[in-house]
Each structure stands twice: as structure tokens, then as C-alpha cells.
Amino acid sequence: MTYTIVLIVLFILELLYFKIADAFNIIDKPNERSSHTVVTLRGGGVIFYFAICIYFLVWGGRYPWFFLGLSLMSIISFLDDVYTLSNRIRLIIHFISVLLMAFQLEVFEFPWYYLVITFILAVGVINAYNFMDGINGITACYSLAVVSLLVIANQYLNFIEQDLLVYTMLGILVFGFFNFRNRAKCFAGDVGSVSIAFILLFSLGLLIIKTGNPIYILFLVVYGVDAVWTIIQRILRNENIFEAHRSHLYQYLANEAKINKLAISFFYGLIQFIIGIGVILVSERDLIYQLAFSGIIIVGLSVTYLIVRHYIIKKYIS
């Protein structure tokens, strides 16, 4: 009953946000770098933050430093959606937010290099999530896959309060209802992609710290491979990697190969979920087995990325 009430409240909050976005003209206009062709409301992913706000209130302020960091990250990202802020301001707030997350994760109790690794991973994951939010449904499908894997792992590892994951899942379902369509009602915006990345990253950090096993980072490997190889390709072409573009594999599949965007989004989430189940199954095996599994997954995805990308460019672009 509680979850049903939360779901209804989140639907109402999302609809109220649509009214505000429409009134203040918070929209995405299509351009030559876009994968959409009609004006669409931006920032619907703010519902992810609302979901955690409800969790924070219901559960009496659990994980306060994480919540503060998420609040700062979400606010600055929303303002950037509306006004386009300077990179310096965004980077300062992102730095503070990640610092607060690290404090909540108690990373400061570990050797100094743990903090360095945390910052590198956090910045990488947050930016990858932001870069990958480019077609209808991909953020919803992929995030639903990852949070489902975290819920499954939490059933027997108990590394996080389960309701934080469940409330996040409810927020994703509400957003997906309006976004997983051929003509989306809204896009996530930076506030959506950044906030859900922050939430998932915090949860994943707790899992890795609790188990001492970094193999769970493979819960994000599909996004990771696409993002890293795309950056490498853009560097080789002497392009500015921070400028908007349409050269991710999913964008080539959608825009050049003309594959249905919802099918691509579903496929990305499905592949990640299948790999994640494999991660859970091998996480208790010996180190050599885990390293072999990780290597096969990363190499396999990388080879697939390069082959499919080369094929699309040769057939549809060259």
C-alpha cells in the first residue's frame, strides 16, 4: 500500500512539473545534433530526485550527506537545464556533491587513493550517464535494469536500505511512462540523467565497499563501453569531446540505421541486466574466474561495438 501511494504521489508530482515546464518554456528544441524532431518538455527526470526526497522524509533522514549531495547536484543540473550555467560553477558543485557522497560512503576512513578512485569513477559515471541520455527510453530502461540488479543483490547482501532502491525504481517507472514512447512527453534533462547516475553510483558504492569486490562495477559496463569507445573515436578525429554530437553507437543505430529507438533502449537495458545477473552469479567465485569473466565481457562488448559501428558507418554514411 505504501508503494502504491508513493507511485501515485510521484505521478502527480510529474504532472505538476509538466505544468511548470510548459508555463516557463523549459523545452528541448530539435537541432542538427538531436535525435528527436519535435519540441519536447525537458527535465522530466527531476522525478528521480522527488522519489529520494519522499524516501528521505518517510525514513527520517537516512543517508543525510548523500541526500545533501544529491540535492546540490540536482539543483545545479536543473538550473543548467533552464539557464545554461558556466562549466566552472557546475564543476564546483559536482565536486562538492561527490565529496559529500564519499563522506557518506565513509571513504575517508580508507587510504587516500580510495578517495581518488571514488572521484574518478563518480565523474566518469555521471558524465557517461549524461552523454548516453540521447534517445527515448534509454535512461529509463538502462536505469531500471541497474536498479533491479541492485535490488536483487541487496536481497542477500543487505548493503543498503531496500526502500531507497524501491522508491528510485518507482521514480524510474513514472518517468518511463512518459518517456518510453515513440513521441516522448518529456526528456530527462541534465537534472534527470545526473541525479539518477548519482543515486545508482551511491548504491553501487555501498555494494562494493560492503563486499570488497569491484566486479559489481560491471553493473554499468554497457554504458561504460559505449561511452569510452565513443570518446576514443572522437579524440582520434580531433573533436571536442564536450560538444554535443550524435556519434554514440545507439545514436548511429537510431539515426543512421533507422532502428526503432525504443527497441534500442530496451536492448541496452536487457543486455546490461543479463550481464549483471552473470556478475551476481560469479561474484562468489575465485579471483581468476572473476577476472576471466570481466575480461570476456569487456572485450566482447568492445569488439561488438567496433564491428557494429564500422558496419553502420560503411553502409549508411561513407
List the grid coordinates of 115: 578517495
Q: Give me the pLDDT at residue 45, please.
A: 94
Task: Enter the pTM of the model.
Answer: 0.94
The letter for the amino acid at 292 is A
**How much helix, strand and coil, in percent to the nearest 5, is found in the chain?**
75, 0, 20
Q: What is the DSSP code (8-state) at residue 183?
A: S
In the 3-class helix/strand/coil scheme, how is 104-122 assigned residue by residue? HCCHHHCCHHHHHHHHHHH
d(CA 218, CA 284): 15
- What number is the average pLDDT over the span 28-34? 57
- What are 233-264's pLDDT values in tens digits? 998 888 887 777 788 999 999 999 999 999 99
- What are 91-116's pLDDT values in tens digits? 899 999 999 999 999 998 888 888 88
